[in-house]
Amino acid sequence: MLLKEKNIIITGSGRGIGKSIALACAKEGANIGLLARTRDELNEVNEEIIKLGTGVKVSVQTSDVTKYEEIESAFKAFYEELGEFNGVIANAGYSRMWDSHDFDSNKFSEIININVSGVFFTFKAAFPYLKKDSKSEKARFIITGSAAFTNPMPKFAAYTASKFAVVGLQSSLALEYKKENINFNMILPTMVDTRLARGRKAGDGNKPPNVMDAQELNDYYIFLLSENANRIDNALIFTNDFDEV
């Protein structure tokens, strides 16, 4: 098991990419911190992890990543239940398709808040509990970005802007905390068969050929969380060039 007894926290883990990562990490022996806004979805993921039979610990917390007090409280609870974090995955995200000239201002701000402020708040809340003092292993902070960073999409102005922003955020954090024992990396998928990308059509079995299944991303995250990635820092990993890494 690549992640045996490691403590991994995942935001947006009630469904989609986050849920898939949580199950994959549990299969590799990691203890899991599940965080999202919807308790029922998290409880379902928890039940699926239990059914794996790996005996890992699971902590379930609800939080809105745009509200710092909530996420700060959630990460404190994760620490109290699991101990120091080996890895944190800032995965929570949101998007809407809209003509830019008619984009609802409040909705635009909401997307930016979730996709940018949410990542920053996740790091800030996690920082005191990241396992930064080990000389034998690195703590990991992984961001779920998007290939929209290099391939902007029309009618997705807020989402595209947010995914540009988190690239800058990661670069700044990686430089600022270079002397800390933390690696910062980002995975930038193309379109994935999730409710974020395909709405109610997600999981209908009729996804276009260019749309990935969430499970296809698991190896990217597992690799970055493992000791095999100790020397990888501030990388942008696109899902079509994993072999190069």
- Report all structural domains of the chain as residue ranges with CATH numbers, in order of start: 7-244 (3.40.50.720)
Active site residue 159: yes
With beta carbons less than 8 A apart as the criterion, state whether 23 and 52 touch.
Answer: yes
Residue 124: count of CB within 10 angstroms of its CB: 13
Per-residue pLDDT tens, the chain, 245 aa: give them: 899 999 999 999 999 999 999 999 999 999 999 999 999 999 999 999 999 999 999 999 999 999 999 999 999 999 999 999 999 999 999 988 888 999 899 999 999 999 999 999 999 999 999 998 777 789 999 999 998 898 888 999 999 999 999 999 999 999 999 999 999 999 999 877 755 554 455 445 555 556 788 899 999 999 999 999 999 999 999 987 544 44
Strand arrangement, sheet containing 7-11: 58-62, 31-36, 7-11, 87-90, 139-144, 182-188, 235-238
Q: What is the rounded CA–CA span in Å between residue 169 and residue 131?
A: 21
Catalytic residue among 79, 129, 159, 221: 159
The whole-model pTM stands at: 0.90
